[in-house]
Amino acid sequence: NAGVTQTPKFQVLKTGQSMTLQCAQDMNHEYMSWYRQDPGMGLRLIHYSVGAGITDQGEVPNGYNVSRSTTEDFPLRLLSAAPSQTSVYFCASRRDGIGDQPQHFGDGTRLSIL
């Protein structure tokens, strides 16, 4: 009953460091996405994928890379961390493109950039 699993749950980085946030789902969902949540704002879409090998940019893609080599995994890479990337990051998945499918969210990764 894992659903969407994000690792790590917490991370502190120094400016300029790179890292990868992991996301895995075991529901065989086609669609996966990454959001960031900043104080006083709703979640904003970073990148998303509609299937293995297919990714696209969301609202706030700068400074992040993604890839989707398998259906299960959708890692988010920070290339050179900046303090503006301090946020809570959520990975989400849904079965397919049919409108009424809800997103299933992971528990989030709290990232602090010093």
Site for another protein in 71-90 (CB under 8 A): 88, 90
Q: Which of 69, 84, 107, 112 binds another protein (CB under 8 A)?
A: 107
- The CA distance from 33 to 31, in Å, is 7
Is residue 2 close enough to count as binding another protein by CB under 8 A? no
State the binding string over 50-69 for another protein (x if CB under 8 A, else -): x-----x-x-----------
Is residue 42 close enough to count as binding another protein by CB under 8 A? yes
**Residues that contact another protein, how many (by CB under 8 A):** 25
Check if the beta carbon of residue 107 is closer than 8 Å to that of residue 9: yes
Check if the beta carbon of residue 34 is closer than 8 Å to that of residue 89: yes
- The CA distance from 14 to 43, in Å, is 24
